[in-house]
Amino acid sequence: MTKIAVLVSGGGTNLQALIDAQARGEIKDGKLDFVLSSNPDAYALERAAKAGIETDVLRRRDFADAEQYGAALHEKLTARGIGLIVLAGFMTVLPDSFCHKWQNQIINVHPSLIPSFCGEGFYGLRVHEAALHKGVKVTGATVHFVSEVVDGGAIILQKAVEIEPDDTPETLQKRVMAQAEHILLPRAVSLFCQGKLHVQDDRVTIE
């Protein structure tokens, strides 16, 4: 049984999708064991508490640099025997050394079809604003492994979402969450915990 840690910073809608999926028995061979927030006021912490998941807070500003932050985070996760880290709206950039230690054990969900609208500066509503500004007809979400390159890790799953003529960044964000992110993330987590994801040459194959 793989112990899963979810790293959060805000409302925790993707965390809730994982909690709900676990309650439905959709996360095979894995268990949500720990939720850590970079923000002590994150509503995601309340979601975790209601689900009976242990929580903790680790603020970047309490550490001199990213390396010290990463070391403290690594210590907390290894002490719990965590086997998979899920970034669910985690707004703190992890240092390269941390990503290297946890290579192919960290997954993230990004609200676009990578490689479109991703990388440095593309997060939250900014992604949807960019998609609408560009005038693309289809967007979506991507679940990928985390590497030292922002949004550059191997792609696990993707799902397309059509853009409507009257979309705003806010309406598009909600639809991408409901139609893609909340579906893909639990599926990818379950596949990982079942040992069905294999990475070779920056490409993921699924059994």
Q: How far apart are CA 141 and CA 144, in angstroms?
A: 10
Give the list of residues 6+ apart from residue 70 with CB closer than 8 angstroms, or none: 94, 95, 97, 98
Catalytic residue list contains 100:
no
> Catalytic residue among 74, 110, 182, 198, which?
110
Nearest of 54, 109, 106 to residue 83 by alpha carbon? 106
Q: How far apart are CA 5 and CA 48, in angstroms?
A: 11
Q: For residues 197 and 206, is the Cβ–Cβ distance under 8 A?
A: yes
Catalytic site positions: 110
